[in-house]
Amino acid sequence: MAGTRKKTTDDPLTPVTLAVGQEELLLERAVREVVAAARAADADTDVRELAAADLQPGTLAELTSPSLFAERKVVAVHDSQDLSAESVKDVKAYLGAPAEEITLVLLHAGGAKGKGLLDAARKAGAREVACAKLTKPADRLAFVRGEFRGLGRSATPEAAQALVEAVGSDLRELSSACGQLVADIEGTIDEAVVGRYYTGRAEASGFTVADRAVEGRAAEALETLRWAMSTGVAPVLITSALAQGVRGIGKLASAPRGMRPGDLARELGMPPWKIDRVRQQMRGWSADGVSSALRAVAAADEAVKGGGDDPEYALEQAVIAVAKAARSR
């Protein structure tokens, strides 16, 4: 797993995994790695993700009680440093005698708050995955190199450095950039390739353009788009970000009401922080608006991939259409 450090054991199916830190992307990956291993062992694995507030006294015992069908289960508790004293007692008791076929994942910020639980999990021999924020340039550089290795591709050291300098410190954007380059470029990825795709300020990214557009802020979205284009951000990255932004609105709008945050995140395949952002962005959207915006983005995507004569004009029209749709309610 790129950017993380494992302790105690490398087996994701160890009864307890402790993911420590505040980097959301790495925390999500720690959970995904355990879930993937569990489903490789049993395709019918039941996955339960809970916020700290959802783990009431007795909840853990209920989730980890023996099943009639002996099914494998993954229980992930987010922000476990915020657990109540009674729930901490339940978790500590469970650490002493974990259930078979169940993997407990405790996500912990790693500070002084909830340190007793952290110490107890470590003492119990929990597998530990470090998910601290990568504040040093060298760490982000190592993250990018790891991303390319994980995708089965190679990039020159100069390319990795150029990508970090161009995209910035956000690991999600760095990860997305690596994936986009691998999808679009054959052979070794070098500095010249990165220069064509990502030149200029990190804030002039496709994600920023998309955020402004789905919030209905057309003028700001267009300004950011023009800066991004002038500094070399690839058009396909902007259409991809727009599509992700609009789809996120549609997915959350159609989700069942009243779901707990952890269940909603699992249902939609979004991290909790993303759900909070999309919920704020979706206030002016309607179902028809989502449909029209997706059509506009699809048309722009076709245009920038060779189906049109003026990619910049196509992107501007897509941004305008998305921003208009954001006020369709």
218 SS3 class: helix
Q: Among all chains, which residue has been given the structure tokens 């790891």? A: 146
Cβ 153 vs Cβ 182: under 8 Å: yes
Tell me, rounded to whole angstroms, the distance of Cα 28 from its chain centroid. 6
Instruction: State residue 254's pLDDT score.
Output: 87
262-272 pLDDT per residue, tens: 677 777 777 67
pLDDT range class, residue 7, cuts 50, 70, 90: very low
Cα distance between residue 65 and residue 256, in whole Å: 27
Instruction: State residue 138's pLDDT score.
Output: 85
173-186 pLDDT per residue, tens: 889 889 888 988 88
pLDDT range class, residue 84, cuts 50, 70, 90: very high
HSE on the CB side for 85, CA within 13 Å?
Answer: 0
Q: Among all chains, which residue has been given the structure tokens 């929990």? A: 126
Inform me whether the pLDDT recorded for 4 exceeds 60: no
Pick the CATH number of 206-326 from 3.50.50.60, 1.10.530.10, 3.40.50.1010, 1.20.272.10: 1.20.272.10
What architecture (CATH level 2) is domain 137-198?
Answer: Orthogonal Bundle (1.10)
Inform me whether the pLDDT recorded for 199 exceeds 80: no
Mean pLDDT of the 12-41 span: 94
Instruction: State residue 137's pLDDT score.
Output: 82
pLDDT range class, residue 5, cuts 50, 70, 90: very low
pTM for the model: 0.60
Inform me whether the pLDDT recorded for 275 exceeds 90: no
Mean pLDDT of the 223-235 span: 81
Instruction: State residue 261's pLDDT score.
Output: 67
Going along the chain, which residue ranges are E strands?
A: 6-7, 16-20, 46-50, 73-77, 102-108, 127-130
The string over 160-194, giving b where at least 16 C-beta atoms fall within 10 Å of a residue's C-beta and e elsewhere, is bbbbbebbbebbebbbbbbebbbeebeeebbbebb
Mean pLDDT of the 70-74 span: 83
Mean pLDDT of the 45-55 span: 90
Instruction: State residue 208's pLDDT score.
Output: 82
Paired tokens of 199: 């030149």
pLDDT range class, residue 162, cuts 50, 70, 90: confident
pLDDT range class, residue 3, cuts 50, 70, 90: very low
The torsion defined by the Cα of 115, 118, 119 and 120, in degrees rounded to 10, comes to 120
- CATH code assigned to 16-130: 3.40.50.300
Paired tokens of 178: 């690596």
Cα distance between residue 145 and residue 139, in whole Å: 10
Instruction: State residue 216's pLDDT score.
Output: 93
Instruction: State residue 179 phi and psi, 5-degree precision.
Output: -65, -40
Inform me whether the pLDDT recorded for 153 exceeds 50: yes
pLDDT range class, residue 85, cuts 50, 70, 90: very high
Inform me whether the pLDDT recorded for 108 exceeds 70: yes
pLDDT range class, residue 68, cuts 50, 70, 90: low
Mean pLDDT of the 278-303 span: 92
Cα distance between residue 222 and residue 74, in whole Å: 44
Task: Report DSSP letters for 140-189, one per residue.
Answer: HHHHHHHHHHHTT--B-HHHHHHHHHHH-S-HHHHHHHHHHHHHH--S-B
Nearest to 103 by CA among 167, 160, 30: 30
Domain residue spans of the chain: 16-130, 137-198, 206-326
Q: Among all chains, which residue has been given the structure tokens 């989730």? A: 63
The rounded mean pLDDT for the chain is: 86
Inform me whether the pLDDT recorded for 2 exceeds 70: no
Instruction: State residue 202's pLDDT score.
Output: 44
Inform me whether the pLDDT recorded for 201 exceeds 50: no
pLDDT range class, residue 78, cuts 50, 70, 90: very high
Q: How many contiguous H segments (helices) and E segments (strands) does the chain have?
A: 15, 6
